[in-house]
Amino acid sequence: MTLLLAFDDEAGLAARLAAALGCALSIVERHAFPDGETRLRLPAALPAHVIALRGLQDPNAKLTELLLAAGGARELGARRLTLVSPYLAYMRQDIAFTPGEVVSQRLLGRLLAAQFDTVITVDPHLHRVPTLDAVLQRPGGIALSAATLLGGYAAQQVPGALLVAPDEEAGQWVRAAAQAHGLAHAVCTKQRQGDREVTVTLPAADVAGRAVVLLDDVASTGRTLAAAARGVLAAGAATVDVAVTHGLFIGDALAQIRAAGVRFVWSSDCVPHATNVVSVVPLLAAALRGLA
Q: Any idea which residues carry the catalytic annotation?
A: 190
Question: How far apart (Å, rounded) are the C-alpha atoms in residues 237 and 229?
Answer: 9
Local structure of 137: helix, strand or coil: coil
151: which residues sit within 8 A by CB, 6+ positions away?
163, 176, 177, 178, 180, 181, 183, 215, 243
Cα 19–Cα 22–Cα 23 angle in degrees, nearest 5: 100
Provide the 8-state DSSP code for 169.
G
Question: How far apart (Å, rounded) are the C-alpha atoms in residues 12 and 198?
Answer: 35
SS3 content of the chain, % helix, strand, coil (to 5): 35, 30, 40
Cα 43–Cα 118–Cα 177 angle in degrees, nearest 5: 115
CA distances from 30 to 4, 10, 59, 230, 271 (A): 16, 13, 17, 44, 20
Taking every pair of C-alpha atoms in the chain, what is the biggest distance, in angstroms?
62
Question: How far apart (Å, rounded) are the C-alpha atoms in residues 196 and 220?
Answer: 10
**213, 239 contact by CB (below 8 A):** no
91: which residues sit within 8 A by CB, 6+ positions away?
105, 124, 125, 126, 135
